[in-house]
Amino acid sequence: MTAQPPELEVSDLKVSFMARRGEVKAVDDVSFQVARGEIMGLAGESGCGKSTTGLAVMRLIKPPGKIKEGKVVFEGDTDVLSLAEEQLRLFRWKKVSMVFQGAMNSLNPVMTVGSQIAEAINAHERVGDKEVQERVARLLEQVGIDAPRARDYPHEFSGGMRQRAVIAMALALNPDLLIADEPTTALDVVVQKQILDLMIDMQRRLGLSMIFITHDLVALSEFSDKVSVMYAGRIVEVAATRDLYEEPLHPYTQGLLESLAGIATPGKKLWSIPGAPPDLASIPKGCRFRARCRYAFDRCAVEEPELLKVKDGRAVACHLVNR
Amino acid sequence: MSSFLSVKDLFVHFPVSRGLNVFAKRRSVRAVDGVSFEVAKEETLALVGESGSGKTTTGRVLARLTDPTGGSATFEGVDILKLRGKDLKEYRKKVQMIFQDPYESLNPRSTIVDQVGLPLSVFGMAKSKSEKEEIVLSLLGKVGLGYADFLYKYPHQLSGGERQRVSIARAIATNPELVVADEPVSMLDVSVRAGVLNLMQDLADAYRLSYLFITHDLSVAKYMSRRIAVMYLGKIFELGPTAEIMSKPYHPYTRMLLEATPKIGPKSAGEIAVRGEIPSSIDIPPGCRFHPRCPYATDICKSQIPPLRDLTKVHSVACHWAERFV
Amino acid sequence: MSRSTGTPGTKRKRELGIVTFALDVWNHKRGRIGVLIVAFFVGLALFGPLISPYNPYAFVARPYLQPSVEHLLGTDGIGRDLLSQLLWGSRITLLIGFVVAVSVIIVGSAVGLAAAYYGGLIDELLMRFTDELMVLPSLPLMIWLATMLGQNMWNTILVLAIFGWPSMARMVRSETLSIKNRPFVDAARVSGAGDLSLMTRIILPNVAPLIVANGILSIIGAILGEASLSFLGLGDPFNMSWGTILYFAQIEGAFYNNGWAWILAPGLSIASIGMAITFIGTAITDIANPRLRSA
């Protein structure tokens, strides 16, 4: 039990988007903590709000989206949501940085990779040219790219190398926390493993904390320290990785794990969760997973379950578990 | 044994533009570079590989969407690469395809009934509009969407899983014997995949379908298929029964693939370190194309292309040193 | 199993894209203005001649009369009623604009679709021909053709259409190229659809929005083109369009004789309908974008 405040503490976060059909509650009361040097997986399917959560932590939500409520506290003393413009600029990239979804395909095709990383440094710090070059070289080596390749253009890099370059950019100012949104989704499985290994390596060597946003529950199992599972804008279960996979408590997590081909028992059919997630503009009363849950009972239709602690490091939002 | 589907020495090379440089060497993308395999009736063969492996292109050749540069393919004894006109149409009745992207494989401007009903119209299987509606409704029922509301909906009103089911309904409309499935679940949400995979299994059992199941995900291949062909840069590196390949892979690439595939549960005993990345299909390494990444590469690997040879009656490997790993 | 969570649709009710599209244009600020103006002129074209007080070609009063109760727009330099000319002229102008647009749509789409779909030699031939037409200086050639063929409304239409279809063809070709490689086209091919069916029943409906949008815009081109030709004296003197009215205004020296209505009436009419169609075009572009975003 450390006396240090957690790297990041998010409380009661609510983010909504105003759309034609109403208010879409993308993130609806989300709270979690990331300890120092911890890799937390934020898992869920498309539309569950995991990417929006990541963007909210960086205060990158743009209209028609809006952070309606909540607190984001960094290292116990920085209230991210109330930072002034100038302080926010110092916060972003220096304390917390992000690898965006599809970033590897968004590199500027007419600038060398090295100059793009240099740009990230120069945008936040006043540094002499020579020093910038050195830092770029060191960053590239840190992510497993030979320094002379800084002079190449993105199209001369392979997919995996581009992703490494993007990670190098995110690490340019030595942040304490890295938010990675689906960093390996578009990569071949062998490259994916290499990137995941790289990220674990960085966690070890640099003491980096990470929020790893993904839909790939299986990849998380080999990689994260703890996992928060999101469904329809809320966190439904939090647990240390091994606990989650060995003994999932929330019916959604159970259903997800049982439907993965990777752990199918030969001869037995995969379990498939019936139905589909609710429309975030008209969330039903009670537990939002109720319509698809095989254990739903009367309380589930009336009262939305709270994310309650089950034991140290484990929490579930389910009436069945938290009786 | 009269083979169901037999592919021999298939080559598909796409020329690459030289731009303005008339003196530049003619280069091509060697998407499929000498592939041979067979599929038996009512069997599912998984074509597994990463990007650039040529698995999708192979599937497209069999669906007669892409023309090969060389080689042959026969279906029930007929040379399918030479089919034209009416004969080609007959072939399409028996061999259908499902595509990867549920959002792009349906026509955004056409109703579900018209799209699933297209093969019915083409092959004269429905004489009137109401008959078409009836048949389409029953097809939708077979894929779990048997509600009249679906008939006149447009694709944008359906979820990803529903769209993929519609594509499956369209594919089985002609009672095909073989369905080429190109990554049918990789763009679907995780919780939706199981349903679609189960559906495909059920349909295969009920209608005696064979699948050529193209995927990059070894776990899905393991679940769906009885035999696997592992492809790399246009060639097959290993071909054999799924159970055997997954538990006792011989080719170093297959082993690397297995090592890299995430799995829940106890970690495998560090089979083989993952190394390097797939080179471009334009600049394929000489000899065994895997040699730059293979920890066991020797001189012969750098200069001679290993043929796909039988290690056992059912298991073939394309590696000079395959016996060493047995 | 899983019921659709999308918008419910009963068996018979179809969501007509064109209806929602039309409503979107109506709800767009400038779109609505454009639609109203165009509707006004279409109304004029359809019913105007019926309420026209005089025969536009007849001498009915003294020349250069100022607007009055008997002659709401006054008379021209020859003594013909201007309002009647405008009303009858609207029919000619809009008819020419519309027929040219339809011809441009039909020919341009057919050429563009075929070129993109078949590719190879057919594409080369069709596009080289199209490019040649585009590159030739249109106005001088139109003048020459008009002179050769004779001054007649149908010849004007022909000439304008000949020079109008190439840009439509280019656009349709480029859109078709991007559509023909989409999986649903492959899927239709695998379902057994033949070339013609693929082009007309699968690809064309997806190119249609672009064709319609540009077809509407090509009406301005046609109207202005016709006005130019007529202004130069190549119009049909027996079927006076607004451009022809301006031609007469110019040669009779309306400007020097205080015939301001003679110039402004047709001029402003051409300008307004041009602006109206541009507004509709703006509305269409604005509507198309959010659609892309939500897709």
- The reply to whether A283 falls in a domain is yes
pLDDT confidence band for C3 (50 / 70 / 90): very low
Do residue A188 and residue A304 come from a single domain?
yes
Q: Which chain B residue lies closest to C184 (C-alpha atoms)?
A: B105
- The reply to whether C4 falls in a domain is no
Q: Which residue has the higher pLDDT, C117 or C84?
A: C117
- C3 min Cα distance to partner chain A (Å): 7
Residue C290 has pLDDT above 60, yes or no: no
**Where is the domain boundary, A147, A173, A199?**
A173
Supply the pLDDT for residue C53.
Answer: 81
Residues of A in contact with B50 (CB under 8 A): 188-190
Average pLDDT over residues C104-125: 95
Q: Which residue has the higher pLDDT, A136 or C84?
A: A136
Supply the pLDDT for residue C69.
Answer: 82
pLDDT tens-digit profile of B174-212?
999 999 999 999 999 888 899 999 999 999 999 999 999
- The reply to whether C223 falls in a domain is yes
| Interface membership of B186 toward A (CB under 8 Å) | no
Q: Which chain C residue lies closest to A291 (C-alpha atoms)?
A: C2
CB B159 to CB C13 under 8 A? no
- Percent of chain A at pLDDT exceeding 70: 97
pLDDT confidence band for C293 (50 / 70 / 90): very low
Give the structural domain span for C118: 26-52+79-294
Residue C267 has pLDDT above 50, yes or no: yes
For residue A299, give both structure tokens.
């309380």
Residues in CB range of C276: below 8 A, 6 or more apart: C33, C34, C35, C36, C37, C38, C41
- DSSP-derived secondary structure for B79-138: EGGG--HHHHHHHHHHEEEE-S-TTTSS-TTS-HHHHHTHHHHHTT---SHHHHHHHHHH
- A220 min Cα distance to partner chain B (Å): 8
Q: Which of B96, B151, B162 lies nearest to residue C190, judging by beta carbons?
A: B96
Do residue A234 and residue A91 come from a single domain?
yes
Do residue A156 and residue A139 come from a single domain?
yes
- B130 min Cα distance to partner chain C (Å): 12
- The total of other beta-carbon atoms located within 10 Å of residue B220's CB is 24
- The reply to whether A3 falls in a domain is no
* H or E stretch at A177: strand A177-181
Q: Which of C139, C131, C217 is nearest to C166 (CA)?
A: C131
Supply the pLDDT for residue C13.
Answer: 37
- The reply to whether C256 falls in a domain is yes
- The reply to whether A100 falls in a domain is no
Q: Which chain A residue lies closest to B225 (C-alpha atoms)?
A: A266
CB B99 to CB C10 under 8 A? no
pLDDT confidence band for C59 (50 / 70 / 90): confident
CB A274 to CB C5 under 8 A? no
How many contacts (CB atoms, under 8 Å) link B and C? 104
- The reply to whether A161 falls in a domain is yes
pLDDT tens-digit profile of A245-259?
999 999 999 999 888
3-class DSSP state of B226: coil
Mean pLDDT of chain A: 90
pLDDT confidence band for C294 (50 / 70 / 90): very low
Residues of A in contact with C5 (CB under 8 A): 276, 279
CB B149 to CB C184 under 8 A? no
Domain count, chain A: 2
Do residue A179 and residue A142 come from a single domain?
no
- The reply to whether C73 falls in a domain is no
| Interface membership of B216 toward A (CB under 8 Å) | yes
Do residue A122 and residue A137 come from a single domain?
yes
- B193 min Cα distance to partner chain C (Å): 13
- The reply to whether C221 falls in a domain is yes
CB A279 to CB C5 under 8 A? yes
Residues in CB range of A244: below 8 A, 6 or more apart: A226, A227, A229, A237, A253
What's the CA gap between A220 and A201, in Å, rounded?
A: 15
Asked whether the beta carbons of C91 and C49 are under 8 A apart, the reply is yes
- The reply to whether A189 falls in a domain is yes
Average pLDDT over residues C23-29: 82
Residues of A in contact with B190 (CB under 8 A): 45, 215-217, 256, 259-260
- A184 min Cα distance to partner chain B (Å): 12
Global pTM value = 0.87
Q: Which chain A residue lies closest to C2 (C-alpha atoms)?
A: A275
What's the CA gap between C21 and A84, in Å, rounded?
A: 43
- B267 min Cα distance to partner chain C (Å): 36
| Interface membership of B157 toward C (CB under 8 Å) | yes
pLDDT tens-digit profile of C127-141?
999 999 999 888 888
Q: What is the dihedral of CA A282, A288, A291, A292, to 10 degrees?
A: 130
User: What tens-digit pLDDT sequence spans chain B (326 residues)?
Assistant: 457 999 999 999 999 887 777 777 788 999 999 999 999 999 999 999 998 899 999 999 999 999 999 999 999 999 999 999 899 999 999 999 999 999 999 999 899 999 999 999 999 999 899 999 999 999 999 999 999 999 999 999 999 999 999 999 999 999 999 999 999 999 998 888 999 999 999 999 999 999 999 999 998 999 999 999 999 999 999 999 999 998 889 999 999 999 888 887 666 555 678 888 888 898 999 999 999 999 999 999 999 999 999 988 899 999 999 888 76
Residue C15 has pLDDT above 80, yes or no: no
Task: Enumerate chain A positions whose Cβ falls within 8 A of a Cβ in B.
Answer: 45-46, 158-161, 188-194, 197, 215-219, 221-222, 245, 255-264, 269-274, 276
What's the CA gap between C156 and C143, in Å, rounded?
A: 10
Asked whether the beta carbons of B257 and B218 are under 8 A apart, the reply is yes
DSSP 8-state assignment for residue C142: H
Asked whether the beta carbons of C270 and C255 are under 8 A apart, the reply is no
Residues of B in contact with C7 (CB under 8 A): 157
- The reply to whether A226 falls in a domain is yes
Q: Which of B161, B219, B267 lies nearest to residue A262, judging by beta carbons?
A: B219
- C38 min Cα distance to partner chain A (Å): 30
CB B109 to CB C190 under 8 A? no
- The reply to whether C70 falls in a domain is no
Supply the pLDDT for residue C6.
Answer: 38
- A260 min Cα distance to partner chain B (Å): 7
Do residue A240 and residue A217 come from a single domain?
yes
Residue C116 has pLDDT above 60, yes or no: yes
Do residue A192 and residue A264 come from a single domain?
yes
Supply the pLDDT for residue B197.
Answer: 94
CB C2 to CB A279 under 8 A? no
B positions 28-67 inside 8 Å of A (CB): 50-51
- The reply to whether C72 falls in a domain is no
pLDDT tens-digit profile of A94-125?
999 999 988 888 899 999 999 999 998 998 88
> How large is the angle between the packed helices C204-231 and C153-180, nearest 10 degrees?
150
Q: Which chain C residue lies closest to B151 (C-alpha atoms)?
A: C11
Residues of C in contact with A275 (CB under 8 A): 2
- The reply to whether A233 falls in a domain is yes
Q: Which chain C residue lies closest to B171 (C-alpha atoms)?
A: C191
pLDDT tens-digit profile of C222-249?
988 888 888 888 888 788 889 888 888 8
What's the CA gap between C38 and A305, in Å, rounded?
A: 58
pLDDT confidence band for A321 (50 / 70 / 90): confident
Do residue A122 and residue A164 come from a single domain?
yes
CATH number at residue C212: 1.10.3720.10
- The reply to whether A40 falls in a domain is yes
- The reply to whether C21 falls in a domain is no
Asked whether the beta carbons of B217 and B257 are under 8 A apart, the reply is no
CB B109 to CB C17 under 8 A? yes
Chain A: touching chains (3 or more CB pairs < 8 Å): B, C
The residue of A48, A158, A187, A189 whose CB has the most chain B CBs within 10 angstroms, and thus the best one to mutate to test that interface, is: A189
What's the CA gap between C141 and C38, in Å, rounded?
A: 30
CB B153 to CB C11 under 8 A? no
What's the CA gap between C50 and B116, in Å, rounded?
A: 52
Supply the pLDDT for residue A272.
Answer: 84
Domain count, chain C: 1
Average pLDDT over residues C14-24: 67
Residues of C in contact with A274 (CB under 8 A): 1-2
Do residue A80 and residue A47 come from a single domain?
yes
Q: Which chain B residue lies closest to A245 (C-alpha atoms)?
A: B264
pLDDT confidence band for C1 (50 / 70 / 90): very low
Chain B: touching chains (3 or more CB pairs < 8 Å): A, C
Give the structural domain span for A275: 8-95+175-316
CATH number at residue A191: 3.40.50.300
Average pLDDT over residues A212-218: 91
Do residue A69 and residue A203 come from a single domain?
yes
| Interface membership of B265 toward A (CB under 8 Å) | yes
pLDDT confidence band for A266 (50 / 70 / 90): low
Do residue A30 and residue A116 come from a single domain?
no
Residues of C in contact with B154 (CB under 8 A): 15
| Interface membership of C2 toward A (CB under 8 Å) | yes
Domains and CATH numbers, chain B: 5-109+154-251 (3.40.50.300)
Average pLDDT over residues A20-26: 88
CB B50 to CB A190 under 8 A? yes
3-class DSSP state of C184: helix
Do residue A61 and residue A114 come from a single domain?
no
- The total of other beta-carbon atoms located within 10 Å of residue B65's CB is 17
Chain C: touching chains (3 or more CB pairs < 8 Å): A, B
- B89 min Cα distance to partner chain C (Å): 6
Residue C4 has pLDDT above 70, yes or no: no
The residue of B187, B247, B264 whose CB has the most chain A CBs within 10 angstroms, and thus the best one to mutate to test that interface, is: B264
Supply the pLDDT for residue B142.
Answer: 95
Buried b (16+ CB within 10 A) or exposed e, B74-88: bbbeeebbebeeeee
